[in-house]
């Protein structure tokens, strides 16, 4: 029994190792996508789009691994929660890959356009959400509920950045109607980044569930009855 249990533990660790690997891969896709946008580098953007197939394969591979463990090990308690969590989290990570592709497509679309102002907030938001993704996956592997709380807290800062970008872009669109197409494209990029932050919060919430057994919406701004100051 001990040997089969050890083998199962090893398979669970392998599952988390692959999840972290997928997280790193997608985080790098996101970084490259935003860099291709800032550098107006369409070739780099195309690489990000091509990389999405690998992210999708990783997603399917981990899901199959989870299904196999469910079928063969019939896990209970903490093991069950771990596998259930990984299955949910890969969907969030995969979506972050999709947003990276959306940003890369925007980079291709805007190649050659002169930006109405240098990109500053978007790269800053990107650094914030990349850190959130790293922290969320680290919290999952380490079962670190304090780290979970830090990830959730960062979401507010990203939301504030998003509101700021949105207000700035609104003003620019009113003042310079000729830049509206570019401004809308960049507004969407900021929105994608804000959504990436939400997915990292999902990961953090799932980690909390894995440890406590309670499924809760941890970020106040994600609750249905929340009214944001900057929202509206």
Partner 1 sequence: MESSGANSDSVIRSEGEVKVEARGLDLFYGEFQALRGVSVAVAARRITALIGPSGCGKSSFLRCLNRMNDLIDGARVEGDVLLDGERIYDQGTDVAALRKRVGMVFQTPNPFPMSVYDNVAYGPRLHGCRGRAELDETVEKSLRGAALWDEVRDGLRKSALDLSGGQQQRLSIARVLAVEPEVLLMDEPCSALDPTATFRIEELMLELKERYTIVIVTHNMYQASRVSEYTGVFLMGELIEYGQTTQIFEMPRDQRTDDYVRGRFG
Residues that bind partner 1 (CB under 8 A): 1, 4-5, 8, 74-81, 212-213
Q: Which is nearer to partner 1, 5 or 117 (CB)?
A: 5
Distance CA 68, CA 147 (A): 30
Contact 190, 166 (CB under 8 A): yes
Distance CA 32, CA 30 (A): 5
CB of 206 to partner 1, least distance (A): 14
Look up residue 193 and give its two tokens.
Answer: 């980044």
CB of 15 to partner 1, least distance (A): 15
Q: Which is nearer to partner 1, 114 or 216 (CB)?
A: 216
Contact 122, 186 (CB under 8 A): yes
CB of 11 to partner 1, least distance (A): 13
Which string of b and e fits 84-97 if b means at least 16 CB within 10 Å?
bbbbbbbebbbbbb
CB of 77 to partner 1, least distance (A): 5
DSSP string across 68-111? HHHHHH---HHHHHHHHHHHHHHHHHHHHHHHHHHHHHHHHHTT
Q: Which is nearer to partner 1, 18 or 81 (CB)?
A: 81
CB of 201 to partner 1, least distance (A): 22
Q: Which is nearer to partner 1, 11 or 54 (CB)?
A: 11
Distance CA 182, CA 145 (A): 41
CB of 213 to partner 1, least distance (A): 3
Q: Which is nearer to partner 1, 76 or 224 (CB)?
A: 76
CB of 81 to partner 1, least distance (A): 7
Q: Which is nearer to partner 1, 8 or 163 (CB)?
A: 8
Contact 21, 89 (CB under 8 A): no
Q: Which is nearer to partner 1, 8 or 116 (CB)?
A: 8
Question: What is the DSSP code (8-state) at residue 173?
Answer: H
Distance CA 222, CA 214 (A): 16
């Amino acid at each position: 029994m001990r040997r089969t249990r050890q083998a199962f533990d090893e398979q669970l660790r392998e599952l988390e190792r692959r999840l972290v690997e997928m997280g790193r891969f997608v985080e790098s896709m996101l970084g490259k996508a935003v860099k291709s946008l800032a550098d107006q580098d369409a070739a780099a953007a195309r690489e990000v789009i091509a990389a999405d197939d690998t992210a999708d394969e990783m997603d399917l591979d981990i899901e199959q691994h989870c299904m196999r463990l469910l079928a063969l090990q019939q896990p209970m308690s903490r093991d069950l929660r771990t596998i259930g969590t990984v299955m949910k989290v890969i969907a969030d990570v995969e979506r972050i890959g999709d947003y990276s592709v959306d940003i890369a497509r925007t980079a291709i679309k805007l190649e050659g356009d002169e930006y109405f102002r240098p990109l500053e907030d978007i790269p800053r938001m990107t650094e914030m959400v990349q850190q959130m993704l790293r922290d969320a996956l680290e919290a999952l592997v380490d079962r670190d509920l304090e780290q979970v709380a830090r990830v959730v807290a960062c979401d507010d800062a990203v939301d504030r950045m998003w509101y700021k970008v949105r207000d700035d872009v609104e003003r620019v669109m009113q003042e310079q109607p000729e830049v509206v197409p570019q401004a809308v494209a960049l507004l969407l990029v900021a929105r994608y980044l804000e959504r990436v932050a939400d997915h990292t919060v999902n990961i953090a919430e799932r980690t909390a569930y894995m440890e406590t057994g309670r499924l809760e919406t941890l970020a106040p701004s994600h609750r249905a009855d929340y009214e944001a100051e900057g929202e509206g």
